[in-house]
Structure 1
Amino acid sequence: MSHSPTLGTTVTNTKMRTPEKISPFSGMCSVCTADCIGSCEIGYSAIRGEEALYPTGADKSQFASEKDYPVDLSHFNINGHVFGAEGIEADAYKASFPNADISTTVGIDNPIKLKAPFILPAMAKLNWPDYYGGAALAGIMAVIGEDAVVKDKDLEMKSNKVTKSPLLEKMLNSFRKYDHGYGDIVLQANYDDEHINVLDYAIAELGATTVELKFGQAAKGIQGMGFVYSLEEALEFQKKGYLVIPDPSDPVVQEKHKKGIGPHFQRIGKLPMWDEEILAKRVEKLRSLGAKRILFKMAAFDPKDMIKVLKIASFNKIDLVTFDAAGGGSGNSPCKMMNEWGLPVVYMESILYEILNEMKNKGYELPKVAAAGGFAMEDQIFKGLALGAPYISMIAIGRAAMAAAMAGKRVGELIEQGQIPKELQKYGNSVEEIFRDIRLLRDVYGSEVDSFEPGALGLFSYINRVSTGLRQMMALNRKFTLDRIDRTDIIALTKEAGEVSGISTIMDYRDIVRQFI
């Protein structure tokens, strides 16, 4: 069977003419007829060419892989225990899931406290104000995505360096206005951002204290791109130091463009050309500018590259390295890359466990590590922590967190319009009645809560749900602190899952049966 999706997908609003009869190795309909209007990916490509490489409606949507990976987190179940308690006194009145401690810290020399082991990975689109603000309410970390300054209509530059970005300031303040001493807002930079000194400006002028350097471009590792349809805009991007193809300053290209000849302009993200020495100097410079915490963002590249990044992180005392598994995409990823590139999360975490374990055995100081890759609910979060334990101690929640922020915002709009959905009317007709967890925030912020945005409330409530669920899973395993979670807390349900991960299958427990009886 094929694990890849067919050539019809909601990501590009395409569909198969005969979805019940598909050729599995090509993804095409078994019979391709001359009468078809071309509703599939091939037909769409025949009309729109290279535009068909990318998801449609990226300004209003987020995307994920439709590939059915051979092994995923559903191939594991959570173990359970019935005796004792770890990380808390074995007292039935104390060893209860609300007392499971899921707090953590990030930072080697300047640690910050987090209420839960979560980071919301880089985004700078859709409902970003509530994505960042909700993270502050929840007391966790959130990351402003790469290329954010490109969206700033009021951006000011001098000699190809950023001198003013009201949008960046607004993004940072979206978190800060709810900040109550937990978590932080992180500014990410890709190679283009570094070229125009985005981090230098944000640290010196906006007071950013936590920054993240990104390996690769756009979602995961591809070169980010965006079509530019006017010559004037193409020249402006080129003037700012961005790579624009074809060259808009070429008179021949300009003349052809005016006549509607040749390709559309594309602003293409530069592939990073870093090495150990360059990165070491850059990290030192960022710290000298005032950065208190420096993070790395890495995708599931070749294991040799993963090792190299972890070594660099170790040598330079990087505060957190987030590894992003295959499967997601903001809209900048080509569809086929989103489905077919990189390591899915179980594979990625399994390799990272081996790498980090070997590094520890050889005396390396290990950085704190987070894993991203489709985490949405508490069962997946617990499995992700167990699979990577003790080396992967945080989980990055991206698409699900943004979905919560968007849902909260939409419900808030409907409440304001007096158009409360029927299924929500049973809870009441006001924000305070419908958003159940607002009372938890009132205990922290007091009457300020009345002015909080529903989208931020929605994200807070979602994080509260998965945090509570994580505590319940921990209590089920009699583990009441994060550092007690280990690989014995999950069981591989299939031989393939066991072989990929090294996690015991139920058949492996035969030896335990013999040992304990």
Structure 2
Amino acid sequence: MSYSPLLGSSVTNTRIRTPEDSSPFSGMCAACTSNCYGPCEIGLSAIRGSEAIYPFEADVNQFASEKKYPLDFSHFNINGRVFGSSGCIEDAEIASFPNVDIHMEFGIENKVKMNAPIILPAMAKLNWKDYYAGAALAGVLVVIGEDVVAKDKNLVLENGKVTSSPLIEEMVDSFRQYYRGCGDIILQANYDDENLGVLDYAITKLGLKSVELKFGQAAKGIQGMGRVKNIDDAVKFKNMGYLVFPDPTDPQVAENYRNGKGPVFEKVGKLPVWNEELLINRVSQLRKLGAEHVCFKTGPFDPRDLVRIIKIASEAGVDLITFDGAGGGTGNSPVKMMNEWGIPTVYLESMLHDILKKLKEKSCSLPQIAIAGGFATEDQIFKGLALGAPHVNFVAVGRAAMAAAMAGKKVEELIDSENIPKEYRRFGSTKKEIFADIRELKLYYENAEHISAGAVGVYSYINRVSAGIRQLMALNRKFKLECIDRSDIVPMTELAAQISGLDTYDDILVRELKNL
């Protein structure tokens, strides 16, 4: 059995000719015929070369791995209990799911109130405006993704440093206009952003209080990369300090370009070259500039690196580390890296639990921890909180929240054009009739009916998963987040039990029988 997908995918806009008759270990058709024009990845490679490595139309799509990992959260079932009550008195009038408290705080020293243990992780593409605004409506954390300045047509640099970025300012303002006391917006920086002084600018000029340093490209391992359409843009990026291959400022390369010769220009982000001293000093500098929260974002790297990152964060007094499990992506890295690299989320979180437990036993001060990588619905979020308990504090939900932002925006466009999808006509014919949670938003905003439906979509989506989390907590008689523990989920397979170290239903029963 092969866990990897075949060499045809919507991610690359390819397909294999005979998916019903394929070679699972290569991903090719079992019979490769001489009269096939090659709609598969190999055929695409034959006509486009290295361009075939990357996802299809990454500017309008987001992506996830198609690999069938041997273990994911479906291998666990949520436990349930009949007796007792944790975090609430044993009173049937009070111990009810609407009274489950999922509010929490972000930050070690400077506490930020949050309405749910949810983070919308780094995005700077697609419907980012509603993504950020929806997070403010919902009162959760949201992260502006890396490399924004490369997209900012009105960027101003002085001596190689950012002095004005209207695009970053617009992104921050999209959150702030709906902020009502809960949640925060965090600006992420990769290695190139750091060289350009992006965080320094945002803290001192925009008054941003929360920032994030990124290790690699999260679930994709290396920094973002992409093809540059023309030599003028290639020169611009080169002058900004980015790596561009081939070098557009080389006279021979420029002449070859004018004559239609040579490879296409490619902008490649720098891999971070950090160590303990550099990171600890940088965290200190950011705090002196005015940052109240400094965070790390990293991917599923070698376990030795995970330990090292946590220890650095502990020594530096970092507020939060987000660990991103293998499989996700926004499209700025190779498809095969997305599919075939890194530690899948369940494996990663199980490792993190053991690492954090050990460091806690050694009296290390630990940052807050978020887990990311394939979370979309309340059952998965609850399982993520339980598997990492008590050390994992947040679950990051990226692709699903962006999907809500895009769906809400699209439905509003269809309402405005009087082309309401038949699936939604049963709810009504106007925006306020179709988007149910506008009623709730009227409690907080006078202009609720005029808020973008994409932002309302994010709010409603978070509302839904928050209600679901409360229900699953009440099922386990847990009425506060800190009451969730690892016994609230049960492995259903031998592999799940082995990797997580959790008791199966049989283990629980055997122990109870011994106590009879």
- TM score, norm. by length of structure 1: 0.99
CA distance in 1, matches of 2:228, 2:454: 32
Is 1:47 paired with 2:55?
A: no
Q: What's 2:513 paired with? A: 514
Q: What's 2:378 paired with? A: 378
Give deviations 1:105-131, integer Å, cap 9, x for gaps. Answer: 111111100000000000000000000
Q: What's 2:358 paired with? A: 358
Q: What's 1:212 paired with? A: 212
Is 1:135 paired with 2:150?
A: no
Q: What's 2:495 paired with? A: 496
CA distance in 2, matches of 1:377, 1:46: 40
Q: What's 2:96 paired with? A: 96
5 Å-filtered alignment, 1:219-298, equals 220-298=220-298
CA distance in 2, matches of 1:41, 1:282: 43
Q: What's 2:202 paired with? A: 202
Q: What's 1:321 paired with? A: 321
Provide the secondary structure at the position in 1 that maps to 2:213.
strand
2:121–2:397 Cα contact (<8 Å) kept:
yes
Is 1:66 paired with 2:56?
A: no
1:217–1:269 Cα contact (<8 Å) kept:
no
Tell me the CA shift for residue 276 of structure 1.
0.6
**RMSD of Structure 2 on Structure 1 (CA):** 0.9
Q: Which letter maps to 2:151?
A: K
Q: What's 1:461 paired with? A: 460
1:186–1:210 Cα contact (<8 Å) kept:
yes
CA distance in 2, matches of 1:56, 1:256: 27
Provide the secondary structure at the position in 1 that maps to 2:442.
helix
2:15–2:39 Cα contact (<8 Å) kept:
yes
CA distance in 2, matches of 1:73, 1:154: 44
Q: Which letter maps to 2:513?
A: R
CA distance in 2, matches of 1:117, 1:513: 33
Say which is worse superposed, 255-264 or 456-465, in terms of deviation.
Answer: 255-264
Q: Which letter maps to 1:471?
A: R
Tell me the CA shift for residue 78 of structure 1.
0.3
Q: Which letter maps to 1:206?
A: L
Structure 2 regions of 5+ residues with no counterpart? none
Q: What's 2:18 paired with? A: 18
Q: What's 1:330 paired with? A: 330
Q: Which letter maps to 2:477?
A: R
Q: What's 1:486 paired with? A: 485
Give deviations 1:317-367, integer Å, cap 9, x for gaps. Answer: 111110000001101121101111101110000000010010011110111
C-alpha spacing 1:78/1:355, structure 2 compared with 1 (3 Å): same
Tell me the CA shift for residue 279 of structure 1.
0.7
Provide the secondary structure at the position in 1 that maps to 2:447.
helix
1:219–1:332 Cα contact (<8 Å) kept:
no
Q: What's 1:38 paired with? A: 38
Q: What's 2:173 paired with? A: 173
2:218–2:297 Cα contact (<8 Å) kept:
no
CA distance in 2, matches of 1:422, 1:27: 39
CA distance in 1, matches of 2:315, 2:401: 32
CA distance in 1, matches of 2:268, 2:126: 21
Q: What's 1:441 paired with? A: 441
2:387–2:485 Cα contact (<8 Å) kept:
yes
Q: What's 1:418 paired with? A: 418
Is 1:471 paired with 2:487?
A: no
Provide the secondary structure at the position in 2 that maps to 1:264.
coil
1:295–1:320 Cα contact (<8 Å) kept:
yes
CA distance in 1, matches of 2:405, 2:231: 36
Provide the secondary structure at the position in 2 that maps to 1:443.
coil
Q: What's 1:393 paired with? A: 393
Identity of counterpart residues, as a percentage? 60
Give deviations 1:71-90, integer Å, cap 9, x for gaps. Answer: 10000000110001000011
Q: What's 1:408 paired with? A: 408
Tell me the CA shift for residue 219 of structure 1.
5.2
CA distance in 2, matches of 1:404, 1:516: 49
Structure 1 regions of 5+ residues with no counterpart? none
5 Å-filtered alignment, 1:106-125, equals 106-125=106-125
Provide the secondary structure at the position in 2 that maps to 1:392.
coil
Give deviations 1:339-396, integer Å, cap 9, x for gaps. Answer: 1110111000000001001001111011100000110000000000010000111100
CA distance in 1, matches of 2:91, 2:341: 49
2:219–2:326 Cα contact (<8 Å) kept:
no
Q: Which letter maps to 1:261?
A: K
